[in-house]
Amino acid sequence: MSNDLRRALAVLFRDGRAIEASDLAREMAFVHGWLSIGDADTAVIRMVEQGWLTNEGAGLAPSEATDKVHPPLGWMPRPSNLLEPEAWHAQAQAATPAAPPEAPTVAAERTAIPTAPDVSAATDPRARVEGRLVGFVARSSGLERDEVLRRAQRKQQALRPCTSWLALALVAREQGLDMGAIVEALSPSA
């Protein structure tokens, strides 16, 4: 479980800068598609409570260095590991127990950008394949994964009531990819 959290933090904090709680939740939900936005808010709060994230200036930062952590290609964290993290343990933490950092008020920080309603994997099976779909579109089109996500986000913002998986399908179509495989991957029985 702790390796999953370390890998997630390495992905989220790859540039080494502190991130506001609301931005961190949005990245987990919309950029990576790991959780719904409500679950992502909860995950950020739980990671702060368990010591994985600490307040640093105007944002949050990992409690340990993540520059040596390299997640395997195509890796995705288990949502349960993000929503129910174990307590963070470190040599220094055991020697000098510190007061836990304040949990940020994520809901108060979040800006209201009208997007598609939360579609979790529990309510829509297509939400489960988003991460794989991003990888497939990136490999097939020759675009970087971040570029595929950026284009999908722009489509989702432009179309407002558009789910992230539909925006990804539109990006795939725009790139001239065979839509048969995309439609099959997004079929509710997939």
Domains defined for the chain, CATH in brackets: 2-109 (1.10.10), 125-186 (no CATH)
Each residue's pLDDT, cut to its tens digit, for the chain (190 residues) gives 578 888 889 888 888 888 898 889 888 888 888 888 889 899 999 989 999 999 887 889 998 888 888 888 778 888 888 888 888 875 334 433 444 445 555 444 444 334 444 444 455 566 667 778 888 888 888 999 999 999 988 888 888 777 887 888 889 889 888 888 777 777 665 4
State pTM to two decimals: 0.48
Task: Give the span between the Cα atoms of 88 and 97, in whole angstroms.
Answer: 12
